[in-house]
Amino acid sequence: MLTRAETLRPRPNITYQCRDLREVTPDRDGRFDLVLSCYALHHVDRLDDTLRGIRDLLTPGGQIILIDNVDPRRRVPRSWFVKEAVRWLAADVLHHRRPVAEAAEVFRLSIHPAWMDHLTGDLFLTPDEFAHHYLAVFADAEITPMYRARALRWAPDR
């Protein structure tokens, strides 16, 4: 994805890097106008420390957007993901959202055993836990429900 981004969206003021977020520091890397994380933070250990590290990366006037999965069950059963894959396949085909062959490939990948093992191995915060952990670090942030996810937007100087 980084190579694709560099190819499709080259910008002189943007560098694309594959790094461990927990190793990015203001002293070594500077501060950022925008910090964006999508569907990744449920994978980190020591979430509260990681969130504080993210907060420290922001420049004055910048914003942080953090999106991650939540689920009241914490672990989502394989059957739920299969039903969702079937639902998306039907929508793709019936509403012509993508060519049939592409829709079939997306479906095949969506139910692949290795992908299912990954998804069902994930441990998510509940919606209340998300609010508790994230608002402890970003007290005045906005949290927006997004189906099975939550988006936090924090722009302290705006």
Walking along the chain (158 residues) 10 residues at a time, the average pLDDT comes out as 93 88 92 93 94 96 97 95 97 95 97 95 96 97 96 92
Q: Does one domain contain both 64 and 7?
A: yes
Q: Does one domain contain both 134 and 114?
A: no
pLDDT at 158: 72
- Domain of 134: which CATH number? 3.40.50.150
SS3 content of the chain, % helix, strand, coil (to 5): 45, 20, 30
pLDDT at 141: 97
Q: Does one domain contain both 18 and 51?
A: yes
Contact 35, 45 (CB under 8 A): no
Q: Does one domain contain both 42 and 62?
A: yes
pLDDT at 74: 95
DSSP 9-44: S--TT-------GGG--HHHH--EEEEEEES-GGG-
Q: How many domains does the chain have?
A: 2
pLDDT at 150: 98
pLDDT at 21: 86
pLDDT at 22: 84
- The boundaries of the domain holding residue 137 are 2-73+123-154
Q: Does one domain contain both 107 and 92?
A: yes
Q: Does one domain contain both 141 and 63?
A: yes
DSSP 38-73: ES-GGG-SSHHHHHHHHHHTEEEEEEEEEEEEB-TT
pLDDT at 44: 93
Give the C-alpha separation, 30 to 121, whole Å.
Answer: 34
pLDDT at 13: 87
Contact 141, 153 (CB under 8 A): yes
Q: Does one domain contain both 49 and 96?
A: no
Q: Does one domain contain both 98 and 49?
A: no
Cβ atoms within 10 Å of 124's Cβ, excluding its own: 19
CA dist list (Å): 37 to 62, 66, 98, 136, 153? 15, 5, 27, 18, 11
pLDDT at 7: 94
CA dist list (Å): 152 to 1, 37, 44, 67? 24, 10, 17, 6
